[in-house]
């Protein structure tokens, strides 16, 4: 109500000494509460409640009197809003209601109007039963996007110190975050962000350490497994997928298959896919996830329904599929000169959508296990993503195309692989590792 009151088209109808105030809004709310059944005041009827309050204000404006809720005989319009302004304001509010409350799309506070405008059409406010779920879901999605941006920035700062100092820097940063959590001045929002960063950085530490031991061919110390236990709750997919591939690298194929099965079971329609840097060509806000956020708003609960994109740092490259190493060196020719400022914080990462990466790992794992029917099942499902409308909902479609291309190569279908890499390059010509694979296969075909 206060945000609506501050809109320019309301402020401009006032004379020099006239003012429609927040207290007028509060008074209308009190009277509306008094005359409306308690069953109306539920979150999923938010817009209806706003409209009822506006209708109370219209009643006051129509009769030219705004009674004080507590003190009898006091007119709150007296000395605040002249009759001419009252009539002008009445017309504006009537227009809002008749226009299905589209005024909400113009709210500037916290960019709320823009965020409402970004909703899928079925989530927009004039569908009253969905509005609260839509708002909660969008806010949760935006919150984790911000968390991921902070996480990537912290990782780049730590990795810039060099691999030798990475572990010391990680330990210092995690300790710093623990201290911030215990600081009384830390807000609940920042504490939630800090908790996410702590878990995410412990995940970086676990996989960077594992990468080192895989590289030198030494057995893992016991404390790595304890670290994994503390670092798998960033979301329900990304860290577990990296763990599955770590088992794959160590030749522990059945363990890898078990983790992949757990992730596959959890990736249902209620899961919201989130990325910190990209927007898909078609935004996909899960309705089921939105409804879930209404009753489950803590970070711990929300992460059970999130699937973040899977990132790989150079410092953890031996826990990354060899095929994704190319993505860390995706620049070809003068590509580096065409990087935008924000891209410099993530261009040295390899990042892939969770579901395509799951299918790719299943393909590799069941291939090595000799379970051909499960291998082909994963291959066909990955192929379906690329050839259907689902590809438009991916954050990193060019990387998914490269994964499919590699599967084609392993199947011996070189021309199909070349076609997929060519499609990837046509869609994203610059900063795309598919350029490497396209040139490599063109040499093979021509030879």
Task: Give the CATH number for residue 13.
Answer: 1.10.1410.40
Residue 122 is assigned to a structural domain of this protein:
no
Asked if residue 140 and residue 113 are part of one domain, the reply reads no
**pLDDT tens-digit readout, 338-353:** 444 444 444 456 788 9
Quick check: 160 pLDDT over 70? no
Domain count, the chain: 2
Residues 82 and 219 in one domain: no
Higher pLDDT, 22 or 445: 22
Q: Single out the residue of 109, 106, 128 nearest to residue 52, CA to CA.
A: 128
Question: What's the pLDDT at 108?
Answer: 77
Residue 196 lies in a domain: yes
pLDDT (tens digit, 9 = 90+) per residue, 352-407? 899 999 999 999 999 999 999 999 999 999 999 988 888 888 988 888 888 898 89
Residues 392 and 432 in one domain: yes
Residue ending a domain, choose from 117, 145, 162 = 117
Regarding whether 349 and 264 lie in a shared domain, the answer is: yes
**In a domain? residue 124:** no
pLDDT (tens digit, 9 = 90+) per residue, 18-66?
Answer: 788 889 999 999 999 999 888 888 877 888 888 999 999 999 998 899 9
**Looking at 117, 146, 165, which one is the last position of a domain?**
117
Same domain, 112 and 207: no
Nearest to 50 by CA among 102, 1, 96, 89: 1
Is pLDDT at 182 greater than 90 in this prediction? no
Query: Are residues 139 and 273 located together in one domain of the fold?
Result: yes
Cα–Cα distance between 176 and 51 in angstroms, integer? 47
My answer on whether 283 and 355 are in the same domain is: yes
Which tens digits make up the pLDDT trace of 113-155? 777 766 655 444 444 446 678 778 888 888 888 888 888 778 7
Instruction: Give the range of the structural domain holding residue 76, as residue numbers without chain letter.
Output: 2-117
Q: Is residue 260 part of a domain?
A: yes
């Amino acid at each position: 109500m206060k945000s609506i009151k501050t809109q320019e088209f309301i402020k401009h109808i006032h004379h020099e000494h006239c003012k429609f105030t927040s207290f007028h809004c509060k008074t209308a709310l009190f009277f509306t509460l008094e005359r409306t059944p308690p069953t109306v005041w539920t979150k999923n009827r938010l817009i209806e409640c706003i409209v009822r309050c506006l209708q109370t204000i219209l009643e006051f404006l129509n009769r030219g009197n705004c009674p004080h809720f507590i003190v009898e005989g006091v007119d709150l319009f007296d000395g605040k809003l002249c009759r001419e302004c009252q009539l002008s304001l009445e017309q504006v509010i009537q227009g809002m209601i008749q226009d299905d409350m589209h005024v909400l799309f113009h709210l500037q506070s916290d960019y709320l109007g823009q965020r409402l405008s970004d909703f899928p059409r079925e989530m927009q406010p004039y569908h009253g039963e969905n509005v609260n779920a839509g708002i909660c879901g969008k806010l949760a999605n935006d919150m984790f996007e911000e968390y991921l941006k902070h996480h990537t920035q912290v990782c780049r700062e730590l990795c810039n110190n060099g691999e030798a100092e990475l572990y010391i820097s990680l330990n210092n940063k995690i300790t710093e975050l623990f201290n911030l959590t215990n600081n009384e001045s830390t807000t609940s929002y920042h504490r939630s962000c800090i908790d996410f960063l702590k878990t995410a950085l412990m995940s970086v530490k676990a996989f960077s350490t594992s990468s080192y031991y895989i590289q030198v061919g030494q057995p893992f110390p016991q404390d790595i497994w304890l670290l994994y236990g503390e670092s798998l709750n960033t979301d329900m997919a990304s860290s577990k997928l990296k763990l599955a591939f770590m088992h794959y690298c160590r030749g522990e194929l059945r363990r890898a298959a078990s983790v992949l099965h757990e992730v596959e079971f959890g990736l249902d329609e209620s899961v919201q896919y989130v990325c910190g840097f990209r927007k898909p060509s078609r935004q996909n806000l899960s309705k089921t996830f939105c409804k879930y956020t209404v009753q489950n708003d803590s970070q711990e609960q929300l992460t059970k329904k999130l699937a973040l994109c899977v990132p790989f740092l150079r410092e953890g490259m031996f826990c990354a599929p060899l095929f994704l190493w190319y993505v860390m060196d995706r620049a070809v020719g003068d590509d580096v000169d065409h990087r935008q400022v924000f891209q410099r914080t993530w261009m040295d990462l390899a990042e892939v959508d969770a579901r395509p990466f799951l299918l790719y790992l299943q393909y590799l794992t069941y291939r090595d296990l000799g379970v051909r029917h499960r291998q082909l099942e994963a291959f066909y499902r990955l192929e379906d993503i690329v050839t259907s409308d689902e590809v438009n909902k991916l954050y990193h479609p060019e990387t998914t195309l490269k994964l499919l291309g590699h599967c084609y190569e392993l199947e011996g279908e070189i021309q199909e692989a070349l076609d997929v890499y060519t499609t990837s390059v046509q869609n994203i010509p610059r900063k795309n590792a598919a350029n490497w694979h396209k040139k490599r296969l063109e040499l093979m075909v021509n030879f």
